[in-house]
């Protein structure tokens, strides 16, 4: 199923490289002032294809024996076994091939994300134009799948976000979302005499939405929490320590996050909650109440397999991939570093343009785009305001390290200089000589 009535990615690029033959409003190729798929370089679609988008067709979650695929298989297998129909058939269906180009409506509006929500900022997401973007979460497909008549489904796919650069963040990562909708009849046996919906919408409280009864929310959140606790045990082992934390998402109420203890520290594993009734009703399932959750696959895979750096998932090195060549996704594998190559650290300092809207994510984006997987981390190590000039200076420390070879000083310098040049050109900063 397509996520929108639009062209797929290949067609998108054919169109773009051919020029603008079909300039309709529907066209994802029509750039406008919202376009920012890496502000760092691509002025043409051809260049665009060569950076972020060249990784889009790799679909790590569909690549057999890839660690992201193995985690996906573990989750799918858990849901297939846990929820079965009359004849033992799985009730959940899996959508792992939906187009990552979605409308801003699918990504935000259909999910009641407020107009001024931070996630809508240009510095946080990748926009093709003001109407189309690369999905920032797999939640973007929930409402369409409900509209198409589904009640129980998993959505798995690549998602795109502009973020910090370090060992756990990468502009493309993978998520799994799930939705389970139930009717009055499915939730409460006749004789219990309990209702899912209030006769007339009641007050919305911290514990529930106006339309739902206290009983329905209680039983549904119990189902949701036990399902997810068991999922955490399936992924991390029966002894995993977990805790529930109250949370906020525009598309669920009440909402929670599940945290697990990993190596002595609490780690947020997933977000979930009771779906906003307005979303469910608008998608044509107003007679149902639902729960939903979303989790990041890299975050799970890094812990389950002891993978120390998120860039490794993009490695095509056999020495990496072969470690995951197992038939059963539940096989215990611990990643053994093939070899660790030395780091090379270079600082860059610049004055930020006085009247611009400089965002750190724009700079991170440039670093990742120019340096690719040579970049291990970027951190702001110093900032100050010049008392007379009234200009702000930022100094970033860039750690270079390749996962598969030793970098030479010359190649690191070339990339470092190029980062400075691009930042000057695109962001209007002035690089300071140190
Ligand atoms: N989309 C959220 C995120 O990316 C995660 C999430 C939270 C998904 C709650 C859900 C949900 O479906 O119900 O952070």
Q: Lowest-pLDDT range, 113-117, 130-134, 334-338?
A: 334-338
CA of 225 to the centre of ligand 1 (A): 15
Q: Rounded to whole angstroms, how far apart are CA atoms 58 and 53?
A: 10
Least confident of 78-92, 132-146, 189-203: 189-203
Checking if the pLDDT of 7 tops 50, the result is no
Give the mean pLDDT of 190-197.
Answer: 90
Q: Look up residue 272 and give its two tokens.
A: 């979930």
Percentage of the chain exceeding pLDDT 90: 76
- Taking the model in full, what pTM does it have? 0.82
Query: Using a 6 Å cutoff on CB, does residue 293 contact ligand 1?
Result: yes
Reported as a pLDDT band with limits 50, 70 and 90, residue 192 is: confident
Residue 21 has pLDDT above 80, yes or no: no
For the four alpha carbons of 315, 319, 321 and 324, in that order, the dihedral sign comes to: negative
Question: Which of 206, 265, 216, 257 shows the shortest CA–CA distance to 241?
Answer: 265
- Widest pairwise Cα distance in the chain: 78
Q: b/e for 153-190, b at 16 or more Cβ within 10 A?
A: bbbbbbbbbbbebbeebbbbbbbbbbbbbbeeeebbee
CA dihedral 37, 40, 44, 47 (to 10 degrees): -90
More confident residue, 276 or 318: 276
Q: Atom 8 in ligand 1: which residue has the minimum CA distance?
A: 294
Ligand 1 centroid distance, CA of 290 (Å): 14
- Torsion region of 365: left, alpha or beta (phi above 0 gives left; psi -120 to 50 gives alpha): alpha
DSSP three-state, residue 27: coil
- Rounded-to-integer distance, Cα 290 and Cα 181, Å: 4
What does the mean pLDDT of the chain come to?
89
- Is residue 299 in contact with ligand 1, taking CB distance under 6 Å? no
Q: What number is the average pLDDT over the span 170-183? A: 96
What is the spatial distance between Cα 178 and Cα 275, in angstroms, rounded to a whole number? 11
Angle, CA 264 vertex, CA 259 and CA 268 arms, to 5°: 20
Q: How far is CA 315 from CA 13, 83, 308, 341, 373, in A?
A: 25, 35, 13, 15, 9
Non-local (6+) Cβ contacts of 281 within 8 A are none
The residue ranking higher by pLDDT, 123 or 347, is 347
Residue 177 near ligand 1, beta carbon < 6 Å: yes
Q: Distance (Å, rounded) from C-alpha 251 to C-alpha 214?
A: 19
What residue has token string 């959505």?
155
- Omega cis (within 30) before 93: no
Ligand 1 pocket, 211 CB below 6 A?
Answer: no
**249: CA distance to ligand 1 center in Å?**
7
> Between residues 101 and 30, which one has the greater pLDDT?
101
């Amino acid at each position: 199923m397509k996520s929108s009535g639009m062209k797929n990615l290949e067609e998108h690029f054919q169109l773009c490289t051919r020029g603008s033959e079909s300039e309709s409003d529907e066209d994802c190729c029509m750039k406008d002032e919202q376009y920012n798929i890496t502000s760092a370089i691509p002025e043409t679609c051809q260049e665009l294809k060569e950076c972020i988008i060249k990784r889009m067709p790799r679909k790590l979650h569909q690549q057999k024996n890839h660690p992201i695929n193995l985690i996906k298989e573990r989750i799918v297998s858990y849901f297939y076994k846990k929820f079965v129909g009359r004849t033992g058939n799985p009730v959940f269906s899996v959508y792992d091939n939906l187009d990552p180009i979605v409308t801003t409506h699918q990504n935000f509006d259909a999910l009641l994300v407020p107009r001024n929500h931070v996630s809508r900022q240009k510095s946080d997401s990748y926009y093709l134009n003001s109407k189309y973007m690369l999905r920032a979460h797999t939640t973007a497909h929930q409402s369409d799948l409900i509209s198409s008549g589904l009640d129980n489904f998993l959505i798995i796919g690549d998602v795109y976000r502009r973020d910090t650069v370090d060992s756990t963040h990468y502009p493309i990562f993978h998520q799994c979302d799930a939705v389970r909708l139930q009717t009055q009849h499915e939730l409460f046996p006749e004789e219990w005499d309990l209702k899912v919906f209030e006769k007339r919408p009641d007050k919305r409280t911290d514990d529930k939405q106006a339309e739902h009864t206290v009983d329905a929310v209680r039983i549904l959140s119990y189902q949701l929490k036990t399902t997810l606790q068991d999922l955490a045990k399936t992924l991390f082992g029966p002894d995993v320590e977990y805790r529930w934390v109250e949370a906020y998402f525009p598309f669920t109420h009440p909402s929670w996050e599940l945290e697990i203890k990993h190596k002595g520290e609490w780690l947020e594993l997933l977000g979930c909650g009771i779906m906003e009734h307005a979303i469910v009703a608008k998608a044509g399932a107003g007679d149902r109440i639902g729960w939903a959750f979303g989790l990041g696959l890299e975050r799970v895979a890094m812990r389950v397999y002891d993978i120390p750096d998120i860039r490794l998932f993009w490695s095509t090195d056999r020495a990496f991939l072969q470690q995951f060549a197992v038939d059963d996704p539940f096989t215990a594998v611990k990643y053994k570093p093939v070899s660790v190559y030395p780091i090379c650290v270079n600082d860059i300092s610049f004055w930020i343009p006085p009247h611009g809207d400089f965002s750190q994510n724009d700079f991170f984006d440039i670093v990742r785009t120019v340096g690719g997987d040579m970049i291990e981390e970027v951190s702001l190590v110093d900032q100050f305001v010049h008392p007379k000039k009234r200009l702000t200076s930022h100094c970033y420390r860039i750690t270079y390290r390749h996962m598969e070879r030793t970098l030479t000083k010359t190649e690191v310098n070339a990339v470092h200089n190029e980062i400075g040049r691009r930042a000057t050109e695109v962001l209007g900063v002035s690089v300071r000589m140190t």
